[in-house]
Amino acid sequence: MSAKLKRSTAPDSQGVILSRATLDRAQQELAESDPRLGAWIEKIGPCTMEPRREGTHFGHLVRNIVYQQLSGGAASTIHGRFSERLGGDPQAPLPEHVLALDEPTMRGCGLSSAKARAIRDLAQHVADGRLPIESLDGLSDDEVIAALVPVRGIGPWTAQMFLMFRLGRPNVLPVLDLGVRKGAQKIYRTRELPDAVRLEKIARNWRPWASVASWYCWRVLDLDDAGGW
């Protein structure tokens, strides 16, 4: 995707960003449109899904790659070592500093070969302009996903998490996320775990706040882990 990619006028890019005010509105509208979900919103309480805006988009994506499939403690240690090796602000690493490191050096920080290659590929996409990292805020959800998935190690799910937790997009539905599917199964008491098609049907009442509804699905599972209500 070119850095000159035309901006979309799709509904998901009309400027609504998750904030305390929009989250309050989302909770109210979801509860009104979907009583089953509303009952869980009342149990769980306010959504705390405000986007993480510290640092840079590039630094956020690097961190996401490091943290994939690792426990929080292990990932934090590796990310700290890697950030120290790069120098500068750990939340705002520079692509050129990443590209200056070879793979053995990156692996010495604790990164796997796959993650080292993914981070280097991300840096290369940013450096040569294939990924217009500074323009992502102005693109539609679909355009952001299309820009990110050509990068090694970034699939649709990672791109959706970036939309939700970095850009604060309110209407993202990660249909293949196991936690969202399990949470929806409990909320709506479905016999089978909802597949993507079934989840799309369930989520009709979630629009235009599918991101917030998905967050509540995750929190439903947290309640189960804590012994329920």
pLDDT at 3: 36
CA atoms within 13 A on the CB side of 10: 14
pLDDT at 14: 52
> What are the structure tokens assigned to 173, written together?
């539905």
Domains of the chain: which residue ranges? Answer: 16-51+172-225, 57-165
- Better pLDDT: 222 or 110: 110
SS3 219: helix
User: Is there a cis peptide before residue 93, judged by omega within 30 degrees of 0?
Assistant: no
| Residues 189-212: tens digit of each pLDDT | 999 999 999 999 999 999 999 999
- For residue 12, what are the contacts with CB-CB under 8 A and spacing of at least 6? 140, 141, 142, 169, 171
State mean pLDDT over 133-140.
Answer: 95
5 pLDDT higher than 60 = no
pLDDT at 135: 95
pLDDT at 17: 94
| Residue corresponding to tokens 């793979």 | 103
Reported confidence tier of residue 225, pLDDT bands at 50, 70, 90: low
145 pLDDT higher than 80 = yes
- Identify the CATH class of 16-51+172-225: mainly alpha
Angle at the Cα of 228 from the Cα atoms of 207 and 67, rounded to 5 degrees: 65
In our burial notation (b when 16+ CB lie closer than 10 A, e otherwise), range 152-177 reads bbbeeebbbbbbbbbbbbbbbbbbeb
Reported confidence tier of residue 224, pLDDT bands at 50, 70, 90: low
CB 20 within 8 A of CB 49: no
State mean pLDDT over 150-154.
Answer: 96
6 pLDDT higher than 90 = no
Q: Rounded CA gap, 128 and 18, in Å?
A: 31
Taking all residues of the chain, what is their mean pLDDT, rounded to a whole number? Answer: 90
> What are the structure tokens assigned to 171, written together?
């209407």
Rg for the chain (alpha carbons), in Å?
Answer: 19
226 pLDDT higher than 80 = no
| Residues 34-55: tens digit of each pLDDT | 999 999 999 999 999 999 999 9
pLDDT at 39: 97
- The CATH number of the structural domain formed by 57-165 is 1.10.340.30
9 pLDDT higher than 50 = no
pLDDT at 15: 79
148 pLDDT higher than 50 = yes
